[in-house]
Amino acid sequence: MTARNALTPLQRSAAGAAVGGSGTGASRVAVAAGDDGDHIADVIAAAAADRAPREAAADVLRLLVTRLSMDASAFFLVRDDGVADVLAVYGRTRRRGYPYPLVDGGHPLVAPLLHGVAVTELDARAADLPTGLLDVASPRRGQIVLAAAEAGGTVAGLLQLSRRRPQPIDDRTRRMLRAAGHVLAMAARNAALSTASERSAAVLETAYAVSRTISRSLDLERTFKLIAVNAARLVRGARCLLFELDVLSGDLVAVASSEEDDEALVGHGCRRGITGRRGRLSRAVQPRSRRPAGGRPAASPDAG
C-alpha cells in the first residue's frame, strides 16, 4: 500500500485544501509528484495536518532532511517588504535558537528565487550567501540548495537545505522541493488569511454590538463595558481599561474594564491626574499579581 493510499479520506481532503483545494495549486502538486508520489504524499499529509504553520513546516523539514540525506533545512517566509524571515529550522545548523537574522531579498544570490527561478544549487559560492541563510545551514556545508516556495503565482517563501558532501540534484528531487515549498507557502498563506478573516469578523461584530447597545439603551456603564470587552477581544490576550476625561479637573476616570478583577477599580471611579505626574496613571493599570520569581513586579505588556 502506498503512502497516498494509506491516508484516510479526511486526510486526503485536508491535503487538497492545504495546496489550494481544487484548481491550479492542487494539480501542480499532483503533476510535481510524478513517479515520486509516496514522498509528496508524505509532505502533503504533514503540511495538511491540523497544526500551526511553524509546526507544520518543522515536520516537513524533518521529512526532507531524512528523505534527501541532508544535514539541515530551513523555511523562510517572504514579507511584503521583500525580506525573508525564518519560520522553522531543522537539523544541525551553524547557529541554534531564535531569533535568526533576516535575509535581504535583494541579495544577488537570493533575488532570482523571488523572480521565477525554482531551484538553485550553491557549492563554491555558498560563502557568499547572506548571514541569515548561512546561520541555518550545516556548519560543515559543502552544498546548499535553495528552492522558491510559490503560492498563487507569488513567491511566498524560501526553502533551504544543506549538507556536508555535495551530491547531484536530479529532476525528482527538484520536483519534490518545488512541491514541498508550494505546500508550505499555501499553508502559511491560508493561516494568514484565516487570521485576517477572523479579525475582520470580530471588528464587524464589535461595531454592530456597540451601535445596537447605544441605539437601544442610555445605560452608559453597559455601553462602556461592552466597548472594553470587545476591544480586548480584538487584540488577543490584551487587557482593556476605558477612561473618561474629566475636563474640569484634568483627571481620567476609569469607567469600564474588560477584566472582572478591575470592577473595584471602576466602581470607585479611580482618578489619576494626567498633568504633571503621569506615573500615577501607569501604576493604575499595572496587574496586581504578576511578579517574576525573585524580582519586582513585571510591567504589563498588554495594558492599554
User: Does 142 lie in the same domain as 91?
Assistant: yes
Domain enclosing residue 103, as ranges: 3-194
Whether 59 is covered by a domain: the verdict is: yes
Q: If phi over 0 gives left and psi between -120 and 50 gives alpha, with beta otherwise, what is residue 23?
A: left
User: Does 221 lie in the same domain as 181?
Assistant: no
User: Does 113 lie in the same domain as 164?
Assistant: yes
Whether 295 is covered by a domain: the verdict is: no
Q: Which three cell numbers stand for residue 38?
A: 509516496
pLDDT at res. 27: 33
pLDDT at res. 74: 85
The strand pair at 83-91 and 119-122 is best described as unpaired
Cβ pair 45, 5 in contact under 8 A: no
User: Does 98 lie in the same domain as 141?
Assistant: yes
Query: Averaged over 56-76, what is the pLDDT?
Result: 83
User: Does 262 lie in the same domain as 170?
Assistant: no
Residues 6+ apart with CB under 8 A from 27: none
pLDDT at res. 61: 85
Whether 206 is covered by a domain: the verdict is: no
User: Does 235 lie in the same domain as 144?
Assistant: no
DSSP state of 79: P
pLDDT at res. 126: 61
Whether 296 is covered by a domain: the verdict is: no
Residues 6+ apart with CB under 8 A from 98: 86
pLDDT at res. 151: 72
User: Does 107 lie in the same domain as 243?
Assistant: no
Whether 205 is covered by a domain: the verdict is: no
The CATH number of the domain holding residue 73 is 3.30.450.40
Query: Averaged over 142-153, what is the pLDDT?
Result: 79
What is the pTM for the complete model shown? 0.49
The phi, psi pair for 189, rounded to 5°, reads -65, -40
- Express each pLDDT in 246-271 by its tens digit: 778 777 778 888 887 777 676 555 55
Cβ pair 28, 182 in contact under 8 A: yes
pLDDT at res. 34: 41
Whether 228 is covered by a domain: the verdict is: yes
- Express each pLDDT in 99-125 by its tens digit: 556 676 667 777 777 665 667 766 656
pLDDT at position 69 over 70: yes
- Express each pLDDT in 25-58 by its tens digit: 333 333 334 444 455 555 555 554 555 667 777 7
User: Does 184 lie in the same domain as 273?
Assistant: no
Q: What is the residue-averaged pLDDT of the chain?
A: 65
Cα separation, 256 vs 76, in Å, equals: 42
Q: If phi over 0 gives left and psi between -120 and 50 gives alpha, with beta otherwise, what is residue 149?
A: beta
User: Does 149 lie in the same domain as 249?
Assistant: no
pLDDT at position 231 over 70: yes
- Express each pLDDT in 158-183 by its tens digit: 888 888 888 888 888 888 887 777 77
Whether 204 is covered by a domain: the verdict is: no
User: Does 11 lie in the same domain as 105?
Assistant: yes
pLDDT at res. 172: 80
User: Does 221 lie in the same domain as 176?
Assistant: no
User: Does 132 lie in the same domain as 12?
Assistant: yes
Q: How many domains does the chain have?
A: 2
